[in-house]
């Protein structure tokens, strides 16, 4: 199970899932520099390693893989994989090079650990698609397990970045999942475009939220749709609050 540490109950739910399926569970903690397109985000990324180690012990994780940057990367390494439109849509558009860095490190981790199963969170919806593509292209013999998003009681998607928010910021951040829920609940009754308008209005009313994108998409292509088509869609959002970039998503049943 690849992580960047600052473990929270979202990570632990993946670990529990892994423990229920696997004899030996390996958790990696590596803040991967090649997937950060913003140097200050990399620098500010929380690294509470003692707390993480204690959490992993409390849940009886078998192995912690905690490499240095020098151990993972040689000098002047080159990596490029054809991610198609995933490279330039949504997260790809706002974080150029991010998914090349993600696939580069995930491929290295797969080669080092050689897991039978790998656990990823739906929280990073597009990342799951990208890793699936990596596995297909490189023919990695691993089964991917995508685990549901763990949220706070009020609905905020748990994230390592949440610790950088003030109490006020944490309250503002609730509007992200509120907007997603408005779309999810409204889609069947009012139709998608009306409920999206209501969700946009909610986000616009909060001056502390700077939305990067908020879109309702087909879950297999991530192409944006205006009305319900097919059975299931996904609403994706990315926004800055107090200079912290947060992402969230929710599946929307149209029928």
If we measure between CA atoms, which residue out of 162, 167, 236 comes closest to residue 8?
162
Binding flag, residue 149, ligand AMP (CB under 6 A) = yes
Binding flag, residue 157, ligand AMP (CB under 6 A) = yes
| Shortest Å, Cβ 204 to ligand AMP | 26
For every residue of 32-56, DSSP letters joined together read: -GGG-S-HHHHHHS---HHHHHHHH
Binding flag, residue 173, ligand AMP (CB under 6 A) = no
Catalytic residue among 8, 11, 80, 98: 11
| Shortest Å, Cβ 162 to ligand AMP | 9
| Residue 203: other Cβ atoms inside 10 A | 18
Binding flag, residue 72, ligand AMP (CB under 6 A) = no
CA distances from 97 to 60, 165, 241 (A): 35, 26, 23
Contact criterion met (CB below 8 Å) for 251 and 183:
no
Binding mask 46-65 for ligand AMP (x = CB under 6 A): --------------------
**What radius of gyration do the chain's Cα atoms show?**
18
Local structure of 220: helix, strand or coil: coil
Which residues pair with residue 119 across a beta bridge? 145
Its sign, for the CA torsion 93, 98, 100, 102, is negative
Asked if 8 is an active-site residue, the reply is: no
Binding flag, residue 248, ligand AMP (CB under 6 A) = no
Question: Which residue among 160, 162, 195, 249 contacts ligand AMP (CB under 6 A)?
Answer: 160
In this chain, which stretch among 44-52, 86-94, 145-153, 179-187 interacts with ligand AMP, using CB under 6 A?
Answer: 145-153
Catalytic center residues: 11
Binding region for ligand AMP (CB under 6 A): 3-4, 10-11, 13-14, 120-121, 123-124, 147, 149-150, 157-160
């Amino acid at each position: 199970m690849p992580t960047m540490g600052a473990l929270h109950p979202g990570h632990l739910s993946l670990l529990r899932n892994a423990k229920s399926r696997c004899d030996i569970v390996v958790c990696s903690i590596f803040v991967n520099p090649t997937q950060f397109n913003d140097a200050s985000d990399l620098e500010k990324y929380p690294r509470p390693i003692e707390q993480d180690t204690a959490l992993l012990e409390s849940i009886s994780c078998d192995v912690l893989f905690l490499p240095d940057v020098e151990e993972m990367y040689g000098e002047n390494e080159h990596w490029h994989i054809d991610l198609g439109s995933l490279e330039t849509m949504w997260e790809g558009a706002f974080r150029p090079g991010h998914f090349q860095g993600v696939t580069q490190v995930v491929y290295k981790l797969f080669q080092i650990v050689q897991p039978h199963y790998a656990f990823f969170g739906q929280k990073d919806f597009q990342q799951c698609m990208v890793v699936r593509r990596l596995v297909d292209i490189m023919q990695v013999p691993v089964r991917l397990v995508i685990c549901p998003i763990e949220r706070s009681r009020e609905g905020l998607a748990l994230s390592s970045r949440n610790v950088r928010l003030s109490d006020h910021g944490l309250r503002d951040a609730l509007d992200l999942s509120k907007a997603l829920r408005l779309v999810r609940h409204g889609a069947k009754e009012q139709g998608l475009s009306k409920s999206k308008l209501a969700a946009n209005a909610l986000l616009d009313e909060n001056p502390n939220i700077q939305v990067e994108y908020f879109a309702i998409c087909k879950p297999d292509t991530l192409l944006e749709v205006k009305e319900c088509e097919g059975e299931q869609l996904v609403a994706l959002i990315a926004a800055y609050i107090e200079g912290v970039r947060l992402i969230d998503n929710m599946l929307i049943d149209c029928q």
